[in-house]
Structure 1
Amino acid sequence: MTKRHVSLPADAEAGLRAFIDEVDERLASEESTCDVVQDVLDDLFANRDAYERWQAGDPVSPAARVRLQGYDPCNATLESEYYAEKDEETYERSKHLQWLWRQFDATPMADNVDFALRFRAMLANHLFAEAGENLRIFKGVTFSYGHNISVGDNTVIHDDVHLDDRGELTIGSRCSLSDGVHVYSHDHDVVDQTEVRNFHTRIEDDARVTYDAMVRAGCVVGENSVVGARAVVQGDVPAHHVAVGMPARSVKVKPGYEDEAEPVGDGRLENRQDEREIPYELPDDLDRFDEFGRHVGDVVTPHREP
């Protein structure tokens, strides 16, 4: 798609660059990440004066106190914080950066595309395992941890994409993930949904995953392939193929790549998930929690009508 170049007025550009550089330098320093995140959010939400009055002992309403405390990621919890198998030490910093990412997206500045793309790219350099050059991430993108994501150069991730990196997620260069795409790296057991398996999911160079599609954990979307809108990928999409449907099947090879693409007989995608499982062990002293209110060790049995 051909786009035109757009630039900000010089004064706006200078202000945005100064702000991004300052946050980047502070996150790269030995300063507490919690303190950096709180300072940035106090300023972005224009609550610096209210925060300082509260810290000086001025009375505030319960709602104001919750709001001001909430800028500090140490006073917040995220869903992924409850995942039993995560690396606690790595997750601590990731959580702080993810909190900044999510709260930034709630500010009006998140709709200033030039500024927001650069701010998220800077955060990705601190949060992701690898963030390539010219990475463009739009509004509403979420992830489990962030630190298990690797992305190549010149990749675009559009609005409201979910990148589940509970396992491991690798996205190549020059990829495009359209609005509403969900890419998973973990699965739940069919019988006991509290049992989780993690996998390595890959989207290879030049692949496109289009609007509202889903890629299941442990699948590979091959080089230069296309996943059609609202497709559900449950196996590997071969390089240069176009896969559509629920479940997705290969319906053709991209024009001009017939000599390079491997044939797929009836279009069914081969599932090689088991080869890409990432094993883990839970600590012996884990304080287990079942959100469904069952006791640990309970057998889950199917419901049958009398």
Structure 2
Amino acid sequence: MNKLKLKNFRSGLDRGASHRFEWCWFFIRAAFFLVPIPLPSRIRVIWLRYFGAKIGQDVVIRGGVNISFPWRLVVGDHVWIGEDVSILSLAQVTIESNCCISQRAFLCTGSHRFDKPGFDLVVKPIVIKESSWVAAQVFVAPGVTIGPNSMCIAGSVVLKDVAPNTIVIGNPAVVKKRQTSEELGDTETRRGETRGGE
């Protein structure tokens, strides 16, 4: 293995925007996202769209959410993003509809090659499929896809893809349970009953 020499590091990252545009985002992020003030989600959504994010309807974004490059963020409808969530969007991050990303979860699209003396940067996209839950303090690694109707239990470290209809737990995350079609049908029935009673 080569000896690490950080002085040789060159990121080579295509940041996807001009320096001026990126600096403008830094100021907006500090003023409207990183503050603990409970601002309405619609204000944060407006700013994210202005900076190139594709955001659906009825999206909830709590305080302290840290998004690196919003122009590499795609969010569906009825998504919840909890307090202090970090989204390192060096590559595209896609969160499909009806997903919940809970407090202090970290969606990380970037890592480094420890076996290279220049500590080469590696970026890969993350996809969270529809109706999934990334619970509190979960780490999602670069290149991971979380299948639809799946859950990552709080504190898990998700280093590889999660199959559809699956619950994972641990560090590294392993399968705890695979949901059956009957269980998924029961869940949808309960959702419909809840909506009907609203």
**TM-score, normalised relative to structure 2:** 0.79
Match of 2:31 in 1: 103
Q: Does 1:126 align with 2:54?
A: no
CA displacement at 1:197 relative to structure 2: 1.1
Which amino acid letter does the alignment assign opposite residue 37 of structure 2? D
Provide closer, same or farther for how the CA distance between residues 171 and 190 of structure 1 changes in structure 2, counting only shifts above 3 A.
same
Residues 139 and 257 (structure 1 numbering): CA distance in 2 closer, same or farther, change over 3 Å?
A: farther
The structure-2 alpha-carbon separation of the partners of 1:95 and 1:145, relative to structure 1 and needing over 3 Å to count, comes to: farther
CA distance in 1, matches of 2:136, 2:15: 32
Q: C-alpha separation between the residues in 2 aligned to 1:172 and 1:155?
A: 8
Q: Give the deviation of 1:89 after TM superposition.
A: 3.8
Aligned mate of 2:130, from 199, 205, 210: 205
Closer, same or farther: CA 161–89 of 1 in aligned 2, 3 Å: closer
Of 180, 183, 207, the match for 2:107: 183
Q: 1:259 to 1:123 in 2, by over 3 A?
A: closer
Query: What's the CA shift for 1:117?
Result: 1.3
User: Matched residues in 2 for 1:86 and 1:252: separation?
Assistant: 39
1:194 equivalent in structure 2: 119
Distance 1:145 1:91 in 2: 12
- Residue ranges of structure 2 left out of the alignment (5+ in a row): 1-9, 186-198
Shift of 1:165: 0.7
Answer with 1 or 2: which has the greater Rg.
Answer: 1
Task: Indicate conservation of the 8 Å contact 1:128/1:147, yes or no.
Answer: yes
For residues 65-101 of structure 1, what are the alpha-carbon distances to aligned partners after superposition, in whole Å with 9 as ceiling and x for unaligned? xxxxxxxxxxxxxxxxx95412464453243134212
**Hey, which bits of structure 1, 4+ residues long, moved more than 4 A?**
255-260
Deviations 1:109-130 (A, max 9, x none): x523xx4312111111112431
Amino acid at match of 2:50: H
Please, what TM-score do these two structures have when normalized by structure 1?
0.53
Residues 174 and 207 in structure 1, CA contact (< 8 A), matched pair in contact too: yes
The 3 A distance-change label for structure 1 pair 190 and 239 is same
User: How many pairs does the alignment contain?
Assistant: 175
The structure richer in helix per residue is: 1
Report if aligned partners of 2:33, 2:64 keep a CA contact under 8 Å in 1: yes
Match of 1:136 among 60, 65, 70: 60
Which string of whole-angstrom CA distances, capped at 9 and with x for unpartnered residues, describes residues 15-50 of structure 1? xxxxxxxxxxxxxxxxxxxxxxxxxxxxxxxxxxxx
Aligned 8 A contact 1:133 1:153 in 2: yes
- The gaps in structure 1 that reach 5 residues or longer are 1-81, 261-306
1:15-54 to 2 correspondence within 5 Å? none
Distance, in Å, in 2 between the alignment partners of 1:89 and 1:147 is 8
State the one-letter code of the partner of 1:100: I
Query: 1:133 and 1:189, CA in 2 relative to 1: closer, same or farther beyond 3 A?
Result: same
**Are the structure 2 counterparts of residues 128 and 176 from structure 1 closer, same or farther at C-alpha, using a change threshold of 3 Å?**
farther
For residue 147 of structure 1, give the secondary structure of its aligned residue in structure 2. Answer: helix
